[in-house]
Each structure stands twice: as structure tokens, then as C-alpha cells.
Structure 1
Amino acid sequence: MSIEVLSIIVLFVSFFILLMLKVPVAFSIGISTTISLLLNIDSLPGITTIAQRMITGIDSFALLAIPFFVLAGEIMKRGGIANRLINFAKSLVASLPGGLAYVNVLASMLFGAISGSAIAATSAIGSIMTDRMEEEGYPREFSASVNITSSTTGLLIPPSNILIVYALASGGTASVAALFIAGYLPGILLGLALMGYVAFVAIRRKFSKEQRAPLKEIWTYFRKAFFSLLLLFIVVGGIVAGVFTATEASVIAVLYAAILALIYGDIRVKDFPSVLLTSAKTTAVVMFLICTSMAMSWLFSFESVPELMSNFLLEQFSNKFVIFLVINIILLIVGTFMDITPAVLIFTPIFLPVVVALGMDPVHFGIVMVLNLCIGLCTPPVGTILFVGSGVAKISVSQVIKPLLPFLAIMVIVLLLVLYIPEISMFLPRLFDL
């Protein structure tokens, strides 16, 4: 056995052992990477190299967008925007069978897109909608399932922090602007698919529906939500038009959200230190994950793992569509025990060369990968959104698993459609020549 193969085995074995011992993911990645590298070189240069790779891994102007988008999302979460979006969504779809479930999906899509955070959408929308839906006869388990799965659409519909992370991991082969515009149709398709299943359940169980809102009421709620929705067009439109970069757009998002929250009166100036502190904590966790993940990603390159994986897959499977399917099965498994940020940073350098060699566009693969790992966020044992959504609904994880399964099946079907029909994600980037 070569030292390279032994090093990779030690890396994965130590990583899984640390995870089973409930060591935080970022520390598990950093420790296992260090142990693996020390098999190749002496301790002092090895530890120095890991530290250097961690620092250089976040030495990127594009990554500055993440703390600002996190801050913008926190301001929006506290600024009453969720209520305005829920009321607007309710005026549009509450008259349909299972109307409040539609409201949950649509509000999660809008809030997740505006905040760029699936967790923020889960907690903000779920904390409001679960009680409302229970009053109308919806089981809390069903409401939680709707909330958990629909909140992932915010990771596809821009602005999305994870798409910025993928752009970094891709080594510049996929631009942030192209990824942002490519995420629209898959994100909307996922939302519509979830609504389709909601309609089926609502008709079968005869869930209640409300009276159709008059146009005057719809206009009133739209007017109240308009400036919140406008942020999407300002940020994404500015990036696509080349007016500003994603990082500059994130700063604009913070200023816009802060001014809007102050005008609405939902946040006062004295509340901002608390908002900044919460955002700083979230940013620190994300950035440390990125640091250690970039070090592990470098180790994979150092050990020629992408080349080994590419050769293995091409030798074992002759059909590129089968290879795409195998890669997605691996990512589905990875997503069940690893958070989305380190998964993107670690596995993009491994699989991207393989799919590009087979003719897949890096932007297309980025959307497929993020959508794939979104499913992992909704599944045990590590599913962050699963635990947040269950906590917000005040039910146990075991209670939500059974009603969640059909929604996960819908997500897998959408994943396969996006995987094998590239036009779903590539139509808009090609239209805008990105």
C-alpha cells in the first residue's frame, strides 16, 4: 500500500471516528487533516502547512460577502420582514385547498431568498406558521415537514452564501453571477413541486381553506412587502448587470435592510449591537469551517485524490449518466453526516474535474451539488434544518421523520430532473451570456 493511499484511509477513518465521538465538524476536519499530512512530512512543517492553508483558504475577496449577507439576514429576521412576506403570501394562495401550507412554502421561498439562509427561513417562518396552521387543523408534524423542506429553496434562489462558497471551491471556473442566476429555476421548481404534494395531501385530508382575498387586500399586503422583495432585484440585478460584485452587493444588502428595518420601526439603533454579535458568532463558525475545509481540500490535491477518483469512476463505468448518478448517490450519503459548507469545499475539488471531463458545465454541477446537499440538511443524523425545524415546531425529530419522507422523495425527484435536464439550471445563464 502506497503512502498516499494510507494517508487518505487515515484521513477518512480518523474523521469518522471524531464525528462519532461528537467532536464538532470543523475540529474533526482540521484534526484528521493534520494527522493525515503528518504521515507524509515532519511535524513542524506539517502543522505549519496546515495553518498556512487554513489562512490562505479564506484569503478571498469573494468570501467577504458571507459575513455581510449573514448580517443582512439577521437584520431581516428581526426586522419584521417575515410577517410581511407571510401576509403577502397568504393573500395570494390561502384560498387554495391547504392554503396555509402553500403560504408556508411560498413565505419560506421568499424569506430564504431574501435572507440567503435556510436556517433563518426555518426559524422565522416556522415559528409563526406552525401555530397558525395548527389552529386550522394541520398536524404539527406536517407543518414542520413543509417548513423544513421549503426553507432549502433559499439556498438555491439568490443571494445564497453556499453558492458563493461553491464559486470559491470551483477555483473560479463558476462565477458567482452565473451561479446566482442559475439557481432561480431549480429553486422555483423545487418550491412548486413541494406545493404539488401539499395540494395532493390537502385534497385527500380535506384541509381547510380561506376565502379568496380581494384585489385591494392583495395590493395592500404587496405594498407592505414590496421594499423587502425589492432587495432581491437590487442585489441579483446589480450583480448580473455588472454594476457591482457579489461582495459589494452584500454591503448594499446590509445598508438596505438596516434602513428598511429602522424605517419600519421593527429595530431600534440600540438593538444593533445584539444583531452584530449574533452575526459575528455565525460568521465565525462558518469561516472556521471554511478554513479547515480548505486545508482538507488542499490535502486532497496534494495526495492526487481528484485524479484517483476520476480514473476510478471512468474505469468502473462507461456511461457518463451512470457516473453522474453515482456521484450524486455519494453526495446524498455525505450530506447525511456532514454540513453543507464543508461538504461543498471538500468534495467540489474531487468531483468537479470528473464531471467537467464528461461535459457537464461547472455552473450546472454547482446547482446539482447544492440541491443534493440540501436534502442532507433535512435528514438525520446531522441535518441542521431538521433539528431547527423540529425545535421551532416544538416536536421531536422522531415525530417528524415519517411525514417528512414524501417531501424528501419529491426533493430527490427534482434533483434528478435538474441533473439530467441541464436546461433547467443553464437556461438563464446562457440567456444572459454568463
Structure 2
Amino acid sequence: MDFTMQVALIMLPVFFLLLFMGVPISISIGISSALSAMVIIEPEQMAFQGVQKMFGGINSFGMLAVPFFMLAGNIMNRGGIAKRLINLALLMGGRLPGALAMANVQGNMLFGTLSGSAMACCAAIGGTMSPIQKEKGYDKGFSTAVNIASAPTGLLIPPSGMLVLFSLISGGTSVAALFMAGWIPGLLWGIAVMLVAYYFAKRDNLPVENSPETLSQVLKIIADAVPSLFLIVIVIGGIVGGAFTATEGAAIAVVYSLILALVYKTLTRKVLIDVVMDTALMTGIILFLIAASSIMSWVMAFSQIPQMISDLLLSITDNKIILLLVINIVLLIVGVFMDATPAVLIFTPILMPICVNQFGMDPVHFGLMIIFNLGIGSITPPVGSVLFVGCAVGDVPIEKATPYLVPMFFAILVVLAMVTYIPAVSMFIPELFGLVK
């Protein structure tokens, strides 16, 4: 048995056993990687090399974009932005049956781009919309399913911290190209949920909403929302135009969101301290996770585990369509049991060589595919993280939301197939702007 197989037979069982025992995923990654590395090198050398790899994994200027985007998103979450965006969404779709459900989807798409977190988006928009929908006679299971199904769109629609993280893990894929590539898949995801929601709304005769009666009311709603949305224009425009890097754009996002919250007078000193502390805590967790994953990536690369997995998959079939289907199924299953951040850290170095080197898939296209998959996993029973948050916010058991969620799930899978097999869905806008060849 060669050392590649030995490393794999130690790393994978130990990793999944520790996860099953409830050990935090970063610790599970670190322990399984350290134990399997001892097959390759001596324990003393492993300790020295491991610390170097952990430090090297987070010693990057680009990595600063992650906490900055998180801080900007947390300020937006606590800054009273959600209600303003919901009012704008109602203005755009108030005449449709089930207008509140449509506004929920649009609110998640708008707010998700600012918060950068599917769970935060689900909690903020869902917490605002659920009481209103209940008052209007909406079925709680339906309104909860709509909120859950549309919450992960913010993982794709820029500026997305997950796209920045993929850029770093994949070895420097263009953040500007990833941001531009996320627009169409994210919008298609939201539209798919809205189409299913529209069907249920027509079937159940859900009401339309009254539109503003005067032009001044319309202009006030737009004026309240535009300053928040202008953040997207500043950050994406600056990055794509080359005015600043993703890290600098993230820092600008923090300053802009802070000024906006102060103007709205929704951010007290106590709230700001809580926001900074929460961001620091989450940053520490994510950076430690990235550091631990750096050891795993090093061990896997040194022992050629990605090449072994590639050979195994290609031994089954060399048909690109079938292999991409298998990869999608694997990622969907992984996304159910694992949050998007660790999943991207672990599976990007394993699957990217297969898709990019073997099939010639553009790294930008691959990045959108993997993040889209993991976003679906977050809303999939029985363990999806966004699923639990949405049901808690809507005060609904999972089984009551599931009948509505299943058709939305399949509609989203159709969009996933388009993203996977039609490169133009992801690549059209980046190619239009000359960001990829």
C-alpha cells in the first residue's frame, strides 16, 4: 500500500469520526491532518511544518477582505437596513399575488448582497416579514419556505465574502470576475423561487398589496433604499474598474456602512461594540478554520490525494456530463452536513484540478458551481443550517415548511444544472467586461 492510500485511510476516517463525536470542525481538520501527516514525516518535523503552514495559510493581505466584509455586513444587519429594502421590494412587486412572499425573495436578494451571510439574511428579512405575512393570512409554512429558499442568494450576488474566500483558496482567481459571474446565477436562483411562490400564491388566492398612492411616497421609499444599495455600486464598481483591490473595497464597505448607520441613527455605541465583538469572534473562528485547512491542503497535495481522487473518478467514466453530475451530487450531500466555509476550504483543492485541468472548466465557472451547490445544501433537510434558522424565525416545524420547500428545491436544482452545463450563465458578464479570456 503506497503512502497516498495510507494518508487517505487515516485522514478521512479520523476526520468524520471526530465530526460524528461533535468535535468542532476546525479541530477535526487539524487533528486528522496532523495524524495522517505523520505517515509522511517525523512528529517533530510535522509540528514545525504544521505551524508554518497554518501561519502561511492566513498570512495574506487578501485575507483581510474576509473580516472587513463580515464587519460591514454586521453593521448593515444591525443598522435598520432590512426594513428599507423590504419597502423597496414591495414597491417593485406589490401588484403580484402573494406580494409579501415576492418581497421576501427580493429582500433576501438585496439584503444578502450586503450582509454576505445566508443565515443573517434569513434571520433579518424573515424576522421582519413573518409577522406581516401572518397578519395577512399567509400560511406559516409557505412564508417560511420562501424565506429559507431565497436566503442563500447572497452567497452568489456580489459583493460576497464567499466568492472572496474561494478566490484565496483557489490560488488567486480574479475577485472581479467572480463578482461579475455571480449576478446571473444569483438572480436566476431568486427568480426560480419567485415562480414557485407565484404558483402557490395563485392557487391559494393570496392578496396583492396596495401600492403607494402618491409620487412623493414612491420617491421616499426609493430614497430610503438607494443609499444602502449604492454600497454595491461603490464596491463592485471600484474592484471591477481597478480603482482598488477586494481588500480595500471591503474596508471602504465598512466605512460606508458605518456612516450610513450613523446617518440613520440606528447604531448606538453599545450596538457598535457588540457588532465589533461579534465580528472579532467570527473572524477568529474562520481564520483558525482556514489555518487548520491549510495543513490539510498541504498534506493532501504532498500525498497526491487529489490526483488519486481524480484518477478514481476518471476510472469510472471520462464523460464530462456524468462526472459533473457526480461532483454536484457529492457537493449537495456535503453542503447538507457542513457549512459553506469549511466545505470550500476542503473540497476546492480536491475537485478543482479535476474540473479545471481535466475538463478545461474556467476557475470562475467552477467557483460559482461549488458555491451554488453548497448554498443549496444549507437549505436541505435534515441538517441545513439556513433551514433551521428559517424555521426558528418563522416559528414553524421543518415538516410544515417542507411541502412548500420541495418544489422550490427542485426549481433551484434546474438553475444549478444551467450553471453547471451552460458556462455562459456564469461567464457571460465577466467576458463582456473583459475580465476573463
TM-based fold match above 0.5? yes
The separation in 2 between residues aligned to 1:382 and 1:410, in whole angstroms, is 20
Cα RMSD between the aligned structures?
1.4
Gaps of 5+ in 2: none
Letter in 2 for 1:160: S
SS, match of residue 318 in structure 1: coil
* Contact 1:137 1:208 (C-alpha < 8 Å) held by counterparts: no
Code of the aligned partner of 1:187:
G
Contact 1:339–1:382 (Cα < 8 Å) also in 2:
no
TM-superposed CA distance for 1:222, in Å, is: 0.7
8 Å Cα contact 1:71-1:254 kept in structure 2 = yes
1:195 aligns to 2:190 (yes or no)? no
Aligned length: 433
Matched residue, 1:110: 110
Q: Secondary structure at the match of 1:72?
A: helix
C-alpha distance in 2 between matches for 1:153 and 1:6: 40
| Percentage of matched positions with identical amino acids | 47
Contact 1:95-1:213 within 8 A present in 2 as well: no
Matching residue's letter, 1:288: F
Partner of residue 316, structure 1: 316
What residue number does 2:75 align with? 75
AA aligned to 2:330 is I
Q: Distance in 1 between matches of 2:48 and 2:203?
A: 62
Separation in 1, partners of 2:129, 2:65: 30
1:381, 1:32 → 2: CA distance?
Answer: 26
**Do 2:320 and 2:359's aligned partners in 1 also have CA atoms closer than 8 Å?**
yes
Aligned to 1:337: 337
- 1:250 shift after superposition: 0.5
Cα distance in 1 for partners of 2:341, 2:29 equals 12
Aligned pairs for 1:19-418 within 5 A: 19-172=19-172, 174-214=173-213, 216=215, 217-356=217-356, 357-418=358-419
Show CA shifts across 1:375-413 (max 9, x none). 111124542211211221223334433432222212211
Structure 1 Cα separation of the partners of residues 103 and 354 of structure 2:
40
Amino acid at match of 2:198: A
Query: What letter corresponds to residue 145 of structure 2 in structure 1?
Result: S
Instruction: Provide TM-score, normalisation by structure 1.
Output: 0.96
State the alpha-carbon separation in 2 of the partners of residues 85 and 43 from structure 1: 55
- Of residues 102-111 and 324-333 in structure 1, the stretch that sits farther from structure 2 once superposed is 324-333
Whole-Å separation in 2 of the counterparts to 1:218 and 1:117:
29
Contact 1:337 1:380 in 2 (8 A): no
Q: In the aligned structure 1, how far is the partner of 2:89 from the partner of 2:257?
A: 20
Instruction: Indicate the SS of the match to 2:360.
Output: coil
Write the deviation string for residues 62-114 of structure 1: whole angstroms up to 9, x where unpaired.
11011111111111111100010011111221221111000000000000012
Counterpart-to-counterpart distance in 2, 1:398 and 1:18: 29
Structure 2 CA distance for aligned equivalents of residues 312 and 167 of structure 1: 27
What are the superposed Cα offsets for residues 273-326 of structure 1, whole Å, 9 maximum, x if unpaired? 121111111211221221212221222111101212222222321211211111
Letter in 2 for 1:408: F
The 1-side partners of 2:142 and 2:26 are apart by 33
**Greater alpha carbon shift after TM alignment, 347-356 vs 182-191:** 347-356
Identify which range, 142-151 or 359-368, moves more after superposition.
Answer: 142-151
Do the aligned residues in 2 keep the contact of 1:134 with 1:140 (CA within 8 Å)? Answer: yes
Unaligned runs of at least 5 residues, structure 1? none
State how far apart, in whole Å, the 2-side matches of 1:284 and 1:385 are: 22
Displacement of 1:211 in angstroms is: 2.5
- TM-score after normalising by structure 2: 0.96
- The Cα offsets for residues 19-70 of structure 1, whole Å up to 9 and x where unpaired, read as 1111111111111111211233222222332222222111111110111111
Q: Which moves more between the two structures, 182-191 or 352-361? A: 352-361
